[in-house]
Amino acid sequence: MDIREANPEDIKKVFEIEFSSFNSPYDPLILNYLYETHKKTFLVAYENDVIGYIVGIIDCSEGHIISLATDKSFRRKKVGTLLVENLLKIFKENGVKKVKLEVRKRNTTAQNLYEKLGFFKAKELPRYYENGEDGILMMKHLEGKV
Ligand SMILES: CC(C)(COP(=O)(O)OP(=O)(O)OC[C@H]1O[C@@H](n2cnc3c(N)ncnc32)[C@H](O)[C@@H]1OP(=O)(O)O)[C@@H](O)C(=O)NCCC(=O)NCCS
């Protein structure tokens, strides 16, 4: 499996994974905009086809993980972990000192993944999502080895 920057041919499969992974997926227009504006931090996991992706943005010295998903048939094989680790490396190379993300409170799967990678729960975000669900702000300080 290869982790690399997404290319235009990958984006259709990214949409498919996004749509099958989230109840409220990002509009393809937004994902496309993120791809066009943040190519260095829009990564895919590739094994014959796209099997996962991660989108991050850098704002000054802060990194923000916007979306992460693994194709359902490839879950629990460390694809998500590798995507986050690769994005953290790019963040670090670009001077990022801390990374944040928002996750649904009931999404303990993703929280487990992030905690294993050194993220901590920084703050509860009551009714953060448009359907009224609570969120959690998770953060990681990037120091030393990623
Ligand atoms: C969250 C997601 C990206 C994880 O991807 P993945 O490739 O399966 O993750 P990994 O194989 O790297 O798992 C790493 C760790 O995460 C945790 N984890 C992953 N899947 C889990 C599950 N079904 N239940 C509990 N913990 C889980 C475990 O701690 C796992 O480590 P382990 O397998 O050694 O126990 C994937 O489940 C997904 O796409 N979910 C839907 C979209 C989503 O919730 N994205 C995150 C939004 S913030």
Query: Where are the domains positioned within the chain?
Result: 2-141
> Does residue 77 have its Cβ closer than 6 Å to ligand 1?
yes
pLDDT, tens digit, 9 for 90 and up, residues 101-138: 999 999 999 999 999 999 999 999 999 999 999 999 99
The full 3-state SS of the chain, as one line of letters, equals: CEEEECCHHHHHHHHHHHHHHCCCCCCHHHHHHHHHHCHHHEEEEEECEEEEEEEEEEECCEEEEEEEEECHHHCCCCHHHHHHHHHHHHHHHCCCCEEEEEEECCCHHHHHHHHHCCCEEEEEECCCCCCCCCEEEEEEECCCCC
Q: pTM score, two decimals?
A: 0.97
Distance 115 CA to ligand 1 centre (A): 11
CATH number of 2-141: 3.40.630.30
Q: Label residue 146 by pLDDT band (50, 70, 90).
A: low
> Does residue 76 have its Cβ closer than 6 Å to ligand 1?
yes
Q: Label residue 21 by pLDDT band (50, 70, 90).
A: very high
> Does residue 75 have its Cβ closer than 6 Å to ligand 1?
yes
Atom of ligand 1 nearest to the CA of 17: 39
- The pair of structure tokens assigned to 64 is 């923000």
What's the pLDDT score for residue 143?
Answer: 79
> Does residue 110 have its Cβ closer than 6 Å to ligand 1?
yes
What's the pLDDT score for residue 17?
Answer: 98
Q: Is the pLDDT of residue 144 over 70?
A: no
Distance 119 CA to ligand 1 centre (A): 14
> Does residue 103 have its Cβ closer than 6 Å to ligand 1?
yes
Which of 113, 119, 125, 136 to mutate to test ligand 1, by most ligand atoms within 8 A of the CB atom? 113
Atom of ligand 1 nearest to the CA of 67: 47
Rounded CA-CA distance 143/97 in Å is 7
Decide: residue 121, CB within 10 A, 0-12 exposed, 13-18 middle, 19+ buried. middle
pLDDT, tens digit, 9 for 90 and up, residues 31-85: 999 999 999 999 999 999 999 999 999 998 999 999 999 999 999 999 999 999 9
